[in-house]
Structures are given as C-alpha cells and as structure tokens.
Amino acid sequence: MTLEEKDKEYVLQTYARDYTNFVKGSGSTLYDETGRDYIDFASGIGVNSIGHANPTLTDAICEQANAILHISNLQIIAPQAELAEKIVTLSGYDMGVFFANSGAEANEGAIKIARKYGETQFETKRYKVITLEHSFHGRTITTVKATGQESFHTPHFAPYPDGFSYEKSIEAVYDAIDEETVAVLIELVQGEGGVEPFDKEAIQQLARHLKSEGILLIVDEVQTGVYRTGEFLASNLYEIEPDIITLAKGLGGGVPIGAVMTRHKSILHAGDHGSTFGGNYLSSRAGLAVLEVLQGLYDSGAVAESHLYFEQKLQAIVASYPHLFEREVGLGLMRGLRAKSSAIQKATVTQSMQEGLVVLKAGRNTVRFLPSITISKVEIDEGFMRFEKAIATL
C-alpha cells in the first residue's frame, strides 16, 4: 500500500491534498522523499514563522522534552508565565493572556469573554457579535458561524449558535449595532478572505466609536500577529487598543499554540474556561524561542527589510504580467496577487508546485504568499524565479 493509498484508506478525507511527501526542511526550503527541493512561500499557512529546523527552536524543544513536556494547568507552568509576560510586553497593552491550542480555540475564548462581559457589565444582557463578510475565524461550530462566508454555513452542521451577523464593510457596522450588541470581531487583514487589509483611518474611527459605546473590539490576529504584518501585532501597526486579541499560527513556529489576550483581566474566574494542553511546557517553551528569534530580527531592522524586498518582487510581477494579475495586496509578509480569474489562480498554484514552489490560494481569486519571517533574500530570489517559470505559459 502506497502512502497516498494509506492516507485515503485511514485518514478522513477533509482536505483536497497534494500528495507531495515532504520529509525535511531547512530555512524556507523543503525537500521531498526524492531529494527534490521546494521554496516554501506558504510556511504551513503562516505557522513556520522562523522556518524549518531553526536551531533556536529545535534546541529549546529538545531541551524541554528532556526535562518535562506536560503537566496540567492545575499547577503553575514557568514558561507559560514567561511567555504571557513576553507577549504582553511586546504588545504594549495592559492585558492578561489565556493559552489554548489553536486559533479557533483562541477565538472561542474571545467570544466567551465577550459573552460574560455582556452578561455582567450591562443592565440587560448583551450577546450579539458583529463580524464582516469574507472573514474567517475558525472551524468549530461557533467560530464557523462567526465566519462571514455563507459557504461555510452549510446545513450539514446546523443548527448553529445564534448571535452573529455579518456586514459588508466597516462603515456598515455602525448601523448594525443594537442594544444587544456586545462586540465587533474583525481581522485587520482578511487572510482567507483574500489578503485584504482594511483602511487604517476607518479602523481607528471604529475603535473610537466602539469604546464610546462600551462595545468590545475583538481583533483576530491568528494570522496577522507575531510580526507577520511588520509590527508584533497588526493592532500596533493600525495604532489601536483592542479589548481582546487572539493569536496562534506563527506563535509556536510549528508547535500548536493559541492565545487570547484581553484588557478585561478580571472578567473570567476559576472554572469559567480551561484547556488540558493549552500553554503546556512544550508549547510555551516553543513560543519563547520563536519570539526570541523574531524580536532580534525586528530590532535589527531585518523584518522590515524582508517585507520591503518581497513587496517589490510582487510589484514587479504585476507590472510584467498584467494579463494575469490585477494588483498585489496585503501587508508585511502576508501578501497576495489578485488574479484576473479563478482559473488563473488555480493554475498558478498548481504550476508553482510543479516548478518547486509552494504557494497558497485565498478568497477573491487571490494567490497567497505567507513565507517564513526569517526567509533569506536568496530564497526569495529563487522562489520568484520559479514563480515566473510557473506563470510564463498561462
């Protein structure tokens, strides 16, 4: 039985897989079982933030594995407290942190915080959460309902929790607020929705309005956080102070971890929320190693330099191939090319893989690029050389 046959026989087929079998990685280069190399412009959908086999991360994981991997959250976990301190310090916000295992779990935690806030802080209960069309917030029953894409709300999983609505624009949010609204949940750059950033001034105006109304602003930074868009948080880049922020993906560099942070530090009490694995020794130690690497790169200016270099490469592609791509979109190393059709988008992703380059699809006919934040100029150059070969015949 081949590996593909084994996968199809024993693994639930919830993914439209490509059956390239990667067995090793170094930096932003992957190697399959035949030894062929691929430039990785996807980083596991934004997870491998410091690349593959980063020595700082692998050393930390091995050292922790040789000591202790896991205890329950019924006892104190030293690296968890240290990671929470590091996240809060880097964010610049006065917040507390709860650790989970994924972005969906982090967003579930954010919604629970908002629901309790709406139950305890107003004369009458508030529970409604407004999100935006094209948003993506997770795959659990609640977070899929919070996702503003009707294609996710299939009848197979109904009934869904109530209390969620979706608006077409930031401007439409104002009229959607009613006496039962407790929070607005947004991504500052919609990842799955097409790598679409929102206007900074519009976000700042919304943040001021929500604060004046006592309504919570929740920013989903599962994909935008941990230096992905240039600053530690996209919220820092937009110069706003949310009430709740969620993180995951790049925080563990490949080790599963999620986090919800909030300035309402006393809203949850013992027993209100929990996680068996969340923030255990392994994941929190990994998070500390990732932030050690990325903070150093940020402070040296290397993060900003890589972002600019990658952006210039994308702009050159748009200029050279206007029959394929309308424009480049995104911020930092969360980037996309808006293809002129879904057929072009699909062919670009497929052809790129054939040329030894891993890229992604996103909504609105977007070819998405999420390279590691540690990617070298040599790897960027090689990746775009392969990308041009992939699209030359389209």
- Examine the domain organization and report whether 49 and 64 are in the same domain: no
* Tens digits of residue pLDDT in 344-366: 999 999 999 999 999 999 999 99
Contact 264, 238 (CB under 8 A): no
* Tens digits of residue pLDDT in 101-124: 999 999 999 999 999 999 999 999
Out of 264, 289, 314, a domain closes at 289
In what side-by-side order are the strands of the sheet with 366-369? Answer: 325-331, 334-339, 366-369, 360-362
pLDDT at residue 327, as a whole number:
97
For residue 376, tell me if it sits in a domain: no
Q: Please give the DSSP secondary-structure letter assigned to residue 68.
A: -
- Examine the domain organization and report whether 32 and 164 are in the same domain: no
- Examine the domain organization and report whether 281 and 209 are in the same domain: yes
Helix H or strand E segment including 379: helix 377-391
For residue 294, tell me if it sits in a domain: no
Count of structural domains within the chain: 2
Token pair recorded at residue 373: 């934040």
Tell me the percentage of the chain whose pLDDT exceeds 70. Answer: 100
pLDDT at residue 202, as a whole number:
98
- Examine the domain organization and report whether 189 and 167 are in the same domain: yes
Out of 289, 313, 332, a domain closes at 289
pLDDT at residue 317, as a whole number:
98
Domain with 249 in it: 57-289
- Examine the domain organization and report whether 160 and 306 are in the same domain: no
Overall pTM > 0.95: yes
- Examine the domain organization and report whether 356 and 337 are in the same domain: yes
Give CA–CA dist 242/216, Å, rounded: 8
Count of C-beta atoms within a 10 Å radius of residue 293: 20
- Examine the domain organization and report whether 49 and 187 are in the same domain: no
- Segment 134-157 shows an average pLDDT of 95
Three-state DSSP state, 265: coil
* Tens digits of residue pLDDT in 269-289: 999 999 999 999 999 999 999
- Segment 300-321 shows an average pLDDT of 98
Among 15, 24, 11, residue whose Cα is nearest residue 45:
15
* Tens digits of residue pLDDT in 66-84: 999 999 999 999 999 999 9
Count of C-beta atoms within a 10 Å radius of residue 302: 14
pLDDT at residue 124, as a whole number:
95
- Examine the domain organization and report whether 153 and 225 are in the same domain: yes
- Segment 305-326 shows an average pLDDT of 98
Out of 256, 289, 322, a domain closes at 289
